[in-house]
A = this chain, B = another copy of it.
Amino acid sequence: MRTALVIDIGGTKIYNTIINENGEIIADIEKHHTPKTFAEIKSTLEEIVKKHEENVDIIGISTCGSVNNENTGIIGSTGNIAAGYPDMDFQSLSKKRVFVENDANAAAWAEHEIGASKGCAYSVMVTLGTGVGGGIIINNKLYKGKSGAAGEMHFKMRTDKHRQCTCGSWDCFEIYASGTGLKLTAEEMSGNPDITTYDVVGGAQKGDIAMKNILNRWQEDILAGLIGLANLFDPDVIVISGSMAEFVDYDYLEREVNREIVTQPLKIRKATAGNYSGMIGAGLLALEKLLANQ
C-alpha cells in the first residue's frame, strides 16, 4: 500500500507524520513550533522531508492560506505566518512529488473520505477555531473555484460595520462564529473586557445563566450562517469541526436549520476524523493524485 509523508503547516505549529491509502496514521506524530522567519520555516520543512522522503511515495502538505488549483503553491496573502511564506516553492523541498492543499479543504476531504460526511456527495465543512475555515465538497470533489480560494467563510452577518474581521472587512461570519467571535460576544454582553471563552464555556457548563445566554447568542450566529450555507449549497450535510465544535448543540442546529431553509433537509454533524484531519486529507488527496496520474 502506498504512503504519503504529510505535513501540516500552521501559524503556530508544524506537524508531520506518515499516512497510508486508508487514511491511517502509520508513524509517530512529530511536532515543531512554527519558526518566525521564512528561511527557518523552509529549513524545518527540509529537515522533515529529508528524514522521511525515502520511505514514502509522495508528500502531502496541509497549509494555512489559499492554495492554487494546481496544488503547487499559495495564492494571495496569509496572516499569522512569516512574510515570504506564501511564495514558498513547495516542490523544491523534495525529489518526490509535493502536493499542497489548504488546511480547511484538506480536513473537509478527510471528513468526506473517512469521517462525518463519508458517503455524502455534497457537504460543507465549517471549522470553528480561533478563526473559521471552510471546505466544500461538490459531487464528491473538493470545490476550489476559479483560483483555488473558494469556501472562505467571509459572508456578512450584519451591514452596519459593528465588528471588523481579521480579513480587514466588516462583520464576516468568521468574526461571530469563531472562538474570537465568542469572546467578542461575551465582552459585549457582559461588559467585561477580560472575559475569556473559558469563562463562558465553563460558566455555562456550571449552569450560570448569563454565560449560557452568551453561548446561546454565539450559537444563534452560527445557526444564521448555516441557514445561508444550506440554502446556497443544498448539501447532504454540514460538518462542524475545530476546537469550538465541542460547544454547539447539534440536535438544536439541525432542527432549526431544517425549519428555516427553503431547500431540502440536511444533517448537521460534528467532525469525526480527529485532530489530524488536515494531514489525513492532504495525504489522501496526494495519494489519489498519484493514482490518477498513473
Contacts and interface: CB of A to CB of B under 8 A. Distances in A.
A193 interface: no
A219 B65 CA distance: 31
- The oligomer's copy count stands at 2
Contacts of A278: none
A235 B157 CA distance: 21
B264 A154 contact: no
A75 interface: yes
A169 to B, nearest CB: 5
B157 A234 contact: no
Interface string A144-158: 111111111111111
Contacts of A168: 260
Contacts of A158: 157-160
Contact of A145 (B145, B220, B228, B235): B235
Contact of A121 (B146, B225, B236, B262): B146
Nearest to A152: B231
Contacts of A167: 262
B157 A145 contact: no
Nearest to A145: B234
